[in-house]
């Protein structure tokens, strides 16, 4: 791996952590006693993405195993698409429930942090795909 690959990968991983931290801070700041079902689902998706990333990263050590990274990238992309749908459903429910303006603002911020973290997971997958193609 060259320095640029390592830097891109590290930056994308750091971005995931930044958005997770943002969601956690918002939960604390807004005194959220219980996450919604949509927040739980976004968290489950995010955990699954991180699991796929953790399975893919060790394959970078051996060129003959790099092709196996692509199956993890496909799954990460699928999960990110699922997160997009959960986000749309969550926002629709916020407005359909006639939530207070304050609740809409709070939950929208939390959902956006979680969905942005999932988006950054897709960025990691894109970096990994680029590395595989470069070394194929």
Q: What is the CATH number of the domain that holds 90?
A: 1.20.58.220
For residue 67, what are the contacts with CB-CB under 8 A and spacing of at least 6? Answer: 132, 136
Q: Containing domain of residue 80, as a range?
A: 3-135
Q: Note whether 132 and 66 are within 8 A (CB).
A: yes
The CA distance from 10 to 106, in Å, is: 29
The CA distance from 111 to 95, in Å, is: 14
The CA distance from 129 to 66, in Å, is: 9
Share of the chain above pLDDT 70, in %: 100
pLDDT of res. 102: 94
SS3 41: helix
pLDDT of res. 136: 77
pLDDT of res. 21: 98
User: Model pTM?
Assistant: 0.91
Number of domains observed in the structure of the chain: 1
Mean pLDDT value across the chain: 95
Could you read off the pLDDT of 50-103 as tens digits, one per residue?
A: 999 999 999 999 888 888 999 999 999 999 999 999 999 999 999 998 889 999
pLDDT of res. 30: 97
pLDDT of res. 72: 98
pLDDT of res. 84: 98
């Amino acid at each position: 791996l060259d320095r640029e690959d390592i830097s891109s990968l590290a930056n994308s991983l750091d971005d995931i952590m930044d958005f997770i931290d943002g969601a956690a801070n918002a939960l604390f700041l807004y005194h959220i006693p219980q996450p919604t079902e949509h927040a739980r689902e976004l968290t489950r998706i995010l955990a699954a993405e991180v699991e796929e990333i953790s399975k893919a990263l060790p394959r970078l050590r051996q060129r003959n195993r790099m092709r196996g990274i692509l199956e993890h990238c496909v799954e990460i992309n699928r999960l990110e698409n699922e997160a997009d749908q959960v986000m749309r459903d969550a926002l629709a429910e916020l407005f359909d429930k006639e939530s207070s303006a304050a609740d809409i603002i709070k939950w929208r911020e939390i959902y956006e942090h979680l969905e942005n973290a999932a988006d950054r997971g897709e960025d990691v997958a894109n970096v990994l795909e680029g590395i595989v193609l470069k070394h194929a």
